[in-house]
């Protein structure tokens, strides 16, 4: 996971990408989110 990818809910960097759900999932709080190129700018 890239260093700038963190959970928007708890700011944890322990984030994985779920291929099945096609979302990023925080391993600390369980929050699921999508990282689109527009959100990284």
DSSP 4: T
Distance CA 27, CA 41 (A): 24
Q: What is the CATH number of domain 1-41?
A: 2.20.25
pLDDT at residue number 5: 79
Look up residue 41 and give its two tokens: 């700018």
> Is 11:20 a contact under the CB 8 Å cutoff?
no
pLDDT, one tens digit per residue, over 1-41 is: 444 579 999 999 999 999 999 999 999 999 999 976 655 54
With tokens 């096609």, the residue in question is 22
pLDDT at residue number 4: 59
Distance CA 35, CA 37 (A): 7
Look up residue 24 and give its two tokens: 């990023």
């Amino acid at each position: 996971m890239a260093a700038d990818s963190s959970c928007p809910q708890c700011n944890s960097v322990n984030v994985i990408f779920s291929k099945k759900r096609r979302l990023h999932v925080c391993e600390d709080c369980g929050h699921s989110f999508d990282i689109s190129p527009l959100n990284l700018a």
